[in-house]
Structure 1
Amino acid sequence: MSHTAHIRSHRKPRRSASSIVVRTGVAGGVLSTLAVAGAAGYANAAEAEPVTQTLELPTLTADVATQVAQSADATQQAAANYELQAERDAAAASAAKQAKADLAEAKQKAEAKKKAQEEARKQAAARATRNAERTVLAASASTGASSTITGSSSATGSAASIVSFVKSQVGKAYVSGATGPSAYDCSGLVQTAFKQVGISLPRVSQDQSTAGTQVSLDNLQPGDILYWGSAGSAYHVGVYVGDGMFVGAQNPSSGVVERPLSYDQPTGAVRVL
């Protein structure tokens, strides 16, 4: 018996040729099947129409640009409208303020006009009274009655100086506020006349009408101060020069004149000398 008879061989047993052939056939069949299927799939894919999908992306067209421009115009117009409205509101406020000021001014003018009319009415009433008195005097003169205005007709001393001065100013101009030597107003003439004899009189008619002793019109003397209106609120003054005459700075159209008392009957007189 061989010494290797019981030693198992280390070689793998060979497969039979038939088994290998079968397996090779199966594998080849599978591969053939896959190849046919793949070819068929490729052919089908080649014959089918391609599938496409279109995505519409927004584009900036002329209409969109117009809309954007119109929106900008609308915004600008709105801003302009706001600004215009603000200007109108400011103008309305200014107009209301001006209207209020005009109303206040109109009220002031109306009040001033009312006062002027009242003063004119008072002066008209005073003139009417003087005219009535002149009518009475004229009637008395026509019946031979003596004048209600009497007194000394001749001036002496300081009175003569005053009379001489005022007569020498006759014909000069009347200028409001003037005190000579080329022009006077009524109280300026009286004040300057008395200054010639060292007597200082107040400047205005109202004060001059109360500067001396009140005397009646039927007891006048040359040099007496005549006034028109009431004592303390006289609106005109002059100087009695005797013989029923007076000298005064009447108005801008007449200037300084010498007139009879009947020309404009005074309402009172004061004596300073």
Structure 2
Amino acid sequence: MSHTAHIRSRRKPRPSVSTIARRAGVAGGVLGSLAVAGASGSANAAETVTQTIELPALTADLAAQVAQSADATQQAAANYELQAERDAAAAKAAEQAKSDLAEAKKKAEAARKAEAARKKAAASRSAERTTLAASSSTASAPSASSSNVSGSAAAVIAFARAQIGDAYVLGATGPDSWDCSSLMQAAFKQAGISLPRVSQDQSTVGTPVLLSNLQPGDILHWGSAGSAYHTALYVGDGKFVGAENPSTGIVEKPLSWDPPTGAVRVL
């Protein structure tokens, strides 16, 4: 026995075949796991790609939704604008109706006042006629009659009566048609008296006389002196001759038929 036989050797023992096989199996298992992991990673990568391919479809849907939302917004804006126009039109119509109502009330008030004024004027004229008729009926009858008239008055009356039946034409001066003042002017011309042409002036010539003290040949007038609108000739017996209107022409009527306002005397 060698003197070194009892000393343990420091060399590592060589692995046995079984050990090598075991280690190879472990390594294979690790590599297999890595391969599986790699395959899984590849699969996951493939699935990621597949999901990425679906994104355009989602983007198209989103675009459609955005477009629908834009359309809805535009329609809402149009509806608001239409409603605003309707509200403005309604407000304008209401304002116009208010203005029309105020104008109608104003016209109605003016018409009411005009009607009241007309009725008042009519009542005043009626009262004036009643007063004149009453004064004419209660006054003493004129003392002179046409039967004993002579001289200038007779000539004037004869001319006026000779025109009875002629037509009344405003502005006419004879010989077959007259107006009230032209008949008076032509009649007094027979007595050599020149009268003014119009009624207003004829009502101021000579001397004013009371209707209760008339004499044949006096000039009667309707309306105030200086603003008379009609004249005629008193012929006695409570009657007058005058060119009255287009309907009657030249006629002889009693004073009560149309009571005069006043009278003047030029003869």
Which residue of the partner structure matches residue 201 of structure 1? 196
The amino acid that maps onto 2:92 is: A
Partners of 2:72 and 2:204 lie apart in 1 by: 88
Q: Which of residues 149, 161, 181 in structure 1 aligns to 2:142? A: 149
Contact 1:174 1:251 in 2 (8 A): yes
Partners of 1:92 and 1:155 lie apart in 2 by: 81
Contact 1:179 1:189 in 2 (8 A): no
Identity %: 41
Q: Which of residues 39, 43, 66 in structure 2 aligns to 1:46? A: 39
State the Cα deviation string for residues 182-231 of structure 1 (Å, max 9, x = none).
Answer: 666655654665678673536355x5433432112344333322134554
User: The residue matched to 2:143 in structure 1 has which SS?
Assistant: coil
CA 1:82–1:269: 2 relative to 1, 3 Å: same
Q: Which of residues 151, 161, 165 in structure 2 aligns to 1:167? A: 161
TM-score by length of 1: 0.61
Residue 224 (structure 1) aligned with residue 227 (structure 2): no
State the Cα deviation string for residues 154-198 of structure 1 (Å, max 9, x = none).
Answer: 2534x55643454344334556xx122566665565466567867
User: Which is richer in helix?
Assistant: 2
Q: How does 1:1-273 map to 2 (within 5 A)?
A: 41-48=34-41, 49-50=43-44, 52=48, 53=51, 55=55, 56-57=58-59, 58-61=61-64, 67-133=69-135, 135-136=137-138, 147-151=140-144, 153=146, 154=149, 156-157=151-152, 159=153, 162-174=156-168, 178-180=170-172, 181=174, 186=180, 189-190=183-184, 199-201=194-196, 203-205=198-200, 208-228=202-222, 230-231=224-225, 234=228, 236-251=230-245, 253-273=247-267
CA 1:119–1:183: 2 relative to 1, 3 Å: farther
CA 1:133–1:47: 2 relative to 1, 3 Å: closer
Q: CA deviation at 1:131?
A: 3.7
Give the gaps of 5 or more residues in structure 1. Answer: 1-33, 138-146
User: The residue matched to 2:204 in structure 1 has which SS?
Assistant: coil
Partners of 1:224 and 1:215 lie apart in 2 by: 9
Partners of 1:239 and 1:74 lie apart in 2 by: 90
User: The residue matched to 1:59 in structure 2 has which SS?
Assistant: helix
State the Cα deviation string for residues 230-263 of structure 1 (Å, max 9, x = none).
Answer: 5456564322133432112334543432112243
Q: CA deviation at 1:271?
A: 1.9
Q: CA deviation at 1:45?
A: 0.9
State the Cα deviation string for residues 83-135 of structure 1 (Å, max 9, x = none).
Answer: 33333333344444444443333333333322221221122212322443455
The amino acid that maps onto 2:252 is: E
Partners of 2:182 and 2:73 lie apart in 1 by: 82
The amino acid that maps onto 2:144 is: G
Which residue of the partner structure matches residue 22 of structure 1? none
> What is the aligned-residue RMSD (CA, Å)?
4.0
TM-score by length of 2: 0.62
Q: How many residues align?
A: 227
The amino acid that maps onto 1:149 is: P
